[in-house]
Every structure is written in structure tokens, then in C-alpha cells.
A and B are shown apart, each in its own frame.
Chain A
Amino acid sequence: MTIDQLSIFVENKPGHLMEITETLGNAGIDLRALSIGDTAEFGVLRLIVNDPGKALDILHDAGFVVSITQVLAVSLNDTPGSLGKILRVIANAGINIEYMYAFVTQKSVGAYAVFRVEDNDAALADLRRHGVDTVSLNDTL
């Protein structure tokens, strides 16, 4: 199973990131996780939010360049070494990670890692074969 990530273009100028997050905050969108990929010229903001469909509409109407990307989210034990185990499975399967980030929730389950890979279906099958389950957006709430 995959979850919806918002990918947003961030122009390289003061205040642009603030405008995006403020727009979402004013609309009552709750941020779960955040990561930024940057080049010298611009950034790509990636967000996991409680209501991606609504957030997409709001950002689009406000004139931002935004798209939805399917990513994989895996739950982790919040203990030393658990991310490494998952990464080993992915490495052994020969899956190339475009980017990843991790976040911690207040729920007992603890932590999640988010992966962007080229072929979601192949990656999902490999992970399942090694007993690693992906989670849904609701699981992270």
C-alpha cells in the first residue's frame, strides 16, 4: 500500500516556504512529516498531511505548483538499528531509493520511514516477501 505525499515547488526566495505552510495552517491542515530536497536554484517540499486531497486543492488554488506522489511508508520500532534493518532489505532487493525521510509520532508504534522509489509495486512485493509491512495514512495519525 502506498500513501499520498504532497510535493511542492519552493522558489529560492525568502518567505516562500512560510507562505506554503501558512496557507495549509489557515486551512486547518495538520502536518505529519516534512522534508525538503534542495538545489542551488530551488527546493522541493515534501509533506505528509492528514488530508492530502484537500491540501492539494488549497495549494493549487493559492497558485502553488503542487503534485501528489505515491510513496511507501514503513513503521519502525523506535529502537536503535531498526531503520538499518529495513534499509538492508531494500538494498538486498536492489531497490534504488530516490529519497527518504523519517518521522516519529506520539502513538505507541513510534516511528515511520517514508521511501520514494522508482517502482512502487516491485518494492512493495520485495518488502512483503521479507515480512516488512507498509502502512496507510490512517495508521500514521
Chain B
Amino acid sequence: MKYFTPDIECAPHEKMRVLQSERLVKIVRNAYDAVPYYREIMDKKDVTPEDIRSVDDLDKLPFLSKDYLREAYPYKLLATPRSHVVRIQSTSGTTGKRIVAFYTQGDIDKWDECCARAIVAAGGTCDDVVHVSYGYGLFTGGPGLNGGSHMLGSMTLPMSSGNTDRQIQFMCDLGSTILCCTPSYASYLAESVISKGALDKITLKAGIFGAESWSEEMRRDIEAKLGIKAYDIYGLTEISGPGVSFECSEQTGMHINEDYFLPEIIDPHTEETLPDGVEGELVFTTLAKEAFPVLRYRTRDLCALSRKPCSCGRTLVKMSKLKGRTDDMLIIRGVNVFPSQIETVLLREGYSPNYLIVVDRVNHTDTFEVQVELTPEMFSDTVKQNSQREKKLVDAMRSMLGISSKMSLVAPRSIVRSEGKAVRVIDKRKI
């Protein structure tokens, strides 16, 4: 099985645009009629549903910000009667107030379909054993991949996160072939499998890792340690959950399920739409959501789009691997720093993917420290060699980021492992 829905995934661009336009017209009309907020902001911009006749009219619509989604808590953006809703999911609320998203059964079915496409793109079939170690509950990770695996007909292990010993036990005993979790937890599982000597007992062939931005170096590290192919997956609760886009065997960006989610890239400052290939802020318009339609939602995620032909045969537009969420971006001494850049340098220099970034402000100046776990291979008995290696790392970090940092080598396993989204940054600055 190469594609879950070949008619859509390999559709000619023109056919896709027709489908997108039909759906856009319908959802804008529905949002305008059912949600007072959409009516209000469209009226304010002097645009009516009749003005939206195809995807070419998309830029007439106003943007929806994350702040408004928070303000809309809980029911202000609900577009169907409450009796049609069968589920809610919610964001973690770590960067502010929670956002609650609503789903009809139709919304859940489409979400499952998106995740099924992602599992098939990672080589999955109904013969696979899909091991889901994303958290279940309000977080979309577990329910999303669980639903996708069900729809594909694969045997699904609803492991949820945590209890690493049990994860490895089930992986060995039940023959898990596809692992779904955050990349940081995959890295921790790999480390645990190796230290338990269980590497020859696992039968994993692929991993579907998302919900965090992660570097190419981290991917290679996990692939080498577990002997698998690691696929990126992207999604957000506001839009549906994981499966908004997914990677194929080419591993050069994620195909967007654009029959359901219409992407745009904009300049985050001027709000101008940017052409393919130019990096900017990703904006999504849902095309088929019933309970929680979202029009021109600014994700704060930075990437570029590509419509170049893909060797996998899919024609779905691709988004580049995320540079990071603008929410994750640190501004240190005026310079933008993404944790994924730091991860890239650490892995390139041979360090472990277990690190913690500590930012503070002392005497009105930002201090920037990266704690990284030392591995036996990186350790020498002479102070000189250790210092040289540390200096090399500081230099590599400076050339990547443009600012100097302090590197602190810490003992192995001393940085707390994450079972869900990893905590990579401690920002002690009180501004």
C-alpha cells in the first residue's frame, strides 16, 4: 500500500484547487452565518461570503490570532449546536490560557484519515503494530495517531506516555513496528532500549515523531540508535491535531493534507503573502471542519512551502521542517535563538541530544548557558583535551548563533527526561 487516499494525495494541482475552492466558499459562508465573531471581523474588513469565490480570494479574509482563540474560550468559536459535538481536545496552556477545540464525528473521521495517510507514508499497513506513546487525553497526540491507526486497521497499542520499562516490554513482546511519540521521548526510549540490552529484541522499522521541533541531526541520531526510519509529523490542536502534514520516504519536508487544510506563508510583520520557497509564518484555513472552522489562523510557526514534484508521487504541497515555533524562539542579547539550532550544533559536535538551555539576566545583561550531558566518548583524562573540546563547542555555537554562550558539561542522565514534550529552556529573566 503506497497511499491511503491516492485520488487526493496524487491529485493534479488544478483538480486540488477546484476542490479547495468549493470547500473554501462553503466554510466561509458557514463560519459567517454560525459564528458572530467571524461575522464581526469580516464586516469590519468589509468582506462578505459572496466575495470569496475561489482560493484566489483567500487574502480578502481577516487573520485569526492565537490571542483571539484564547479569548474565545470556551464556546465563542463553536459553529455547530453543542449536540453535534462528540469530543473536545485542548492545548497544554503552557504559553497562556488554554485553547479548546471541538469535533463532530465527521471532524474526528477526517482527522483519523489524515493520520492514516501519515502512517501509510511511513510504510504502515494493516499488518503493522502501531505503538502510540504520545499522551492520551486532552493532548491531541495520542488520540490522533490512535485514530489513524484504527482507520488503517493496524493493531494499535494505546501505550500513552510514561512507564518506560513497560513501553520496552510491550515493544519486545508484542512486536511493535511503528513507534509514535515526541522526538525527545524517542531519544530517551532509544537510550533505555540500548542500556537494557533490548536492541536485538525490538522489531521497530519506523517512527512517526512530532509535537516538537527537532533537528535533522536528532533524526539521524534516533535512526541510527533504533535502526529505524524516522518521519516527522506536524499538527496543532487549533487546526485539528497531528496529521495536518506528514513526511514521506523522501524526508524533505511534510506533505500538507491540503484538501482539508489550506496553507499560506506570510511575512509576520507586513502580513503580505509570500511566494513558494520563501520562509515566513505559516497560516492555515481549515476547509472541512464542522464544529471548529478556523479561517486564516496565524500559527506562529516558521517554514516555507514547496510544490516541486516529490519522488513519493504525492502532489500535496510540502512545508519545510519547522525552524521552530516563534513561541519557542528566545531573544538573547537581541539575537533570535531557536533551541533546534543549539541541538544541531551539539549533535554535529558529537554530544548527546540531552541538553537544557538556561537564560538569565545578570546586571542587565542576558546570560546564556547550555548544559549538555557528557558521553564517555567525549571524555578525556586530561584537562587540556576536555578544555579544547569545550572551546570547539563554544566556537561552533558562536558561529551558528552569532552570540557567545557558556557550555556546562554535566553527568550522564542528570538532565530530566521528558515523556511528552521536552522542557529544553529555562528562562529565568524577569522582564
* A residues adjacent to B (C-beta < 8 A): 5, 7, 9, 11-12, 16, 37-39, 41-42, 44, 46, 63-67, 69, 98-99, 116
Contact = CB atoms under 8 A, between A and B. Distances in A.
Q: Lowest 3 A-B CB distances belong to which pairs?
A: A7-B381, A69-B381, A37-B383
B381 A65 contact: no
Contact of B409 (A37, A42, A46, A66): A42
B386 A39 contact: yes
A64 B383 contact: no
Contact of A7 (B379, B409, B410, B413): B379
A41 B413 CA distance: 18
A64 B411 contact: yes
B376 A66 contact: yes
A65 B374 contact: yes
A41 B405 CA distance: 13
A65 B386 contact: no
Nearest to A70: B381
Nearest to A10: B411
Interface in B394-416: 407-414
Given A9-B374, A41-B390, A65 B411 contact: yes
A37 B381 CA distance: 9
Contacts of A46: 381
Interface residues of B, number: 20
A39 B383 contact: yes
Given A37-B382, A116-B382, 16 more contacts: A5-B381, A7-B379, A7-B380, A7-B381, A9-B411, A11-B411, A16-B411, A41-B390, A41-B408, A44-B383, A44-B386, A63-B412, A63-B413, A65-B374, A67-B379, A116-B381
A11 B381 contact: no
Contact of B381 (A38, A39, A44, A64): A44
20 contacts: A7-B379, A7-B381, A11-B409, A11-B410, A11-B414, A16-B411, A37-B383, A39-B387, A41-B408, A44-B382, A63-B411, A63-B413, A65-B374, A65-B411, A65-B412, A67-B376, A67-B379, A67-B381, A98-B382, A116-B382
Contacts of B374: 9, 65
A37 B411 CA distance: 17
